[in-house]
Amino acid sequence: MQLTFLGAAGEVTGSSYLIETVTVRFLVDCGMFQGGREADRKNRTAFKFDPQTIDFVLLTHAHIDHSGLLPRLSAWGFRGPVYCTAATADLLQVMLKDSAHIQEKEIEWRNKSHHRNRPTQEFAPLYTVTQAESLLKLLCRVDYDSEITPHPSICCRFRDAGHILGSSIIELWVKQPSGDKKIVFSGDLGQPGHPIVRDPTFIRQADIVLIESTYGNRLHRSMSSTMNELVEAINDTLINKAGNVIIPAFTVGRTQDLLFLLIDLYRQKRLKITDIYVDSPMAHAATEITLQHIAVLDKETSDALQWMNQNIKKPQIHFVQDIEESMQLNRIKHGAIIISASGMCDAGRIKHHLKYNLDRPECSILITGFQAERTLGRRLVDGAKQVKIFGQDIRVKAAIYTIGGLSAHADQADLVNWLSHFQKMPEKIFVVHGELINALALTSAIKQQLGWTACIPEHLSTVTL
């Protein structure tokens, strides 16, 4: 059996792993690379195999860096099933079509701009909305904790990863003449105690483990100190400075987390806000999907939903749909909390809100999620004094807050603790889905705290198991 690391090896995005045996060939995740000019090249050359030869795909969750190349896989000839949880399947109905729409629009703009100098050169999107819709027909829904057999030699089970709605750890058993092997793919692991979702499931045994390391080099702030900072940032901006609070947020997961937390802080009378604008049609759809899967939500979220239904005096949440409504938000000079995508500030409506608020010292930008290298969000976190948005230089005068404790990813302590629940050291531990410095830090922590050896695979490397 061979395992090839097609992405998320020494970096965060592009999660995809190819497993090959004598009788079967399949993928775990098929994610898009994100951040910087190199991402487009990587996405266009990501398949180092013939997609027609892939028997099936196992998908850990709906985030685009894990699912975003699935429509391209289908467009290039893949016809097998894609197994995922029901909530993930529902989210993909929105996310993959939105991803395709964004790509079509960006390529349209790119072709128009290039025609001035190279009138014969045409660019094509990674995939179209029609191709995304074709892929969605291949989704097969799987219940948490139930075993499936996608191939006679393969058995797998999806366990709750506590990252976003529907996110999964995948336990995989491979039958071989030389002996069966169990591989565990952590997917993206969530923080214990995180809003909306339940805590990650502990796994007891594996021969091979792939564990993420997004925050493998740090510890998150406690939720109590995170809430104190969130309250201080919002109240100082809205009340003392009379400005706006702009929050870049991933449409799936982070936006719903923020809505729950803002409602809860209002319930506690720690915030006086009454109006919240969510400027993302996809975030609206994702929130509606979240409400359809109450059975997999944690108790605190269920209680908050019940309170919202029973109280007239509550924060008013405005979901902004069309472009005209979105543009009107830019006329608001003070008193607004605007949550918008994309979470790394590299695309979507958030760029317009940053353009109109970044150069205003009375405003604040709240960074609540991971910012990959070479993204606009990362430049803001790193203290850039000036950024370019839509070709225009914008001075950064607004306060930039990094609210790290809201991360949907486990920190170093959580990751080591999750590993510690294995009854014995796995034969191999591969540290993936993290920038190199973060992966190295987690590898070191595993050695120091558990006495186990872990390694960081190289991009496109293949190991024989």
Q: What is the pLDDT of residues 338-392, one digit of tens each?
A: 999 888 998 889 999 999 999 999 999 999 988 888 889 999 999 999 999 999 9
Q: φ and ψ at 95, to 5 degrees?
A: -70, -40
Q: Are residues 88 and 53 in the same domain?
A: yes
Q: Kindly give the residue spans of alpha helices, DSSP state H, lying in 192-338.
A: 223-235, 254-267, 281-291, 299-310, 323-329
The last residue of one of the domains, among 385, 406, 427, is: 406
CB 58 within 8 A of CB 24: no
Q: What is the pLDDT of residue 201?
A: 98
Mean pLDDT of 165-171: 97
The pLDDT score that the predictor gives to residue 116 is 59
Whether 353 and 401 share a structural domain: yes
The CATH number linked to 168 is: 3.60.15.10
**C-alpha pair distances (Å), 10 with each of 5, 70, 393, 434:** 10, 22, 32, 6
* One domain, residues 341 and 207: no
pLDDT for 328 equals 95
What pTM did the predictor assign?
0.88
Same domain, 18 and 132: yes
Q: What is the pLDDT of residue 297?
A: 87
Task: For residues 62 and 132, give the distance between their C-alpha atoms in angstroms, rounded to a whole number.
Answer: 14
Distance (Å, rounded) from C-alpha 106 to C-alpha 110? 6
| Domain housing 236 | 223-406
pLDDT tens string 198-220: 999 999 999 999 999 999 999 99
More confident position, 217 or 296: 217
pLDDT tens for each residue of 176-206: 888 899 999 999 999 998 889 999 999 999 9
Shared domain check, 177 and 100: yes
Q: What is the mean pLDDT of residues 59-79?
A: 97
Query: Is the separation of the CB atoms in 349 and 382 below 8 Å?
Result: no
Confidence grade of residue 400 (pLDDT, cut at 50, 70, 90): very high
Residues 18-42 pLDDT 10s: 999 999 999 999 999 987 778 999 9
**What is the count of structural domains for the chain?**
2
The answer, yes or no, to whether residue 152 has pLDDT greater than 70, is yes
Same domain, 429 and 398: no
pLDDT for 270 equals 94
| Residue 247, C-beta contacts closer than 8 angstroms, at least 6 positions apart | 258, 337, 338, 339, 340, 365, 366, 368
3-state secondary structure of 432: strand
Say yes or no: 9 and 73 in one domain: yes
pLDDT at 138 over 90: yes
C-beta separation of 465 from 12 below 8 A:
no
| Bridge partners (DSSP) listed for residue 85 | 142
Alpha carbon of residue 282 to chain centroid: 14
| Chosen domain end from 367, 387, 406 | 406
My answer on whether 444 and 307 are in the same domain is no
Pick from 411, 419, 450, 451: which is nearest to 204 by CA? 419
Residue at a domain's end among 360, 389, 406 = 406
CATH number of the domain to which 273 belongs: 3.40.50.10890
pLDDT in tens, 325-336: 999 999 999 999
Angle between helices 86-114 and 129-136 (to 10 degrees): 160
Tens of pLDDT, residue by residue over 75-128, are 999 999 999 999 999 999 999 998 998 889 888 877 877 665 665 566 899 999
Residues 209 and 86 in one domain: yes
* pLDDT tops 70 at residue 409: yes
pLDDT band at 248 (very low <50, low <70, confident <90, very high): very high
Same domain for 228 and 203: no
Same-domain check for residues 276 and 241: yes
pLDDT band at 275 (very low <50, low <70, confident <90, very high): confident
Work out the mean pLDDT of the chain and round it to a whole number: 93
Strand-pair partners of 429: 209
Does 397 share its domain with 426?
A: no
- Local confidence band at 312 (pLDDT 50, 70, 90 cut-offs): confident
Element of type H or E holding 101 = helix 86-114
Phi first, then psi: give them for residue 101, nearest 5 degrees: -60, -45
Q: Which residues pair with 386 in a beta bridge?
A: 395
> H/E element holding 245?
strand 245-248
Distance CA 189, CA 214 (A): 9
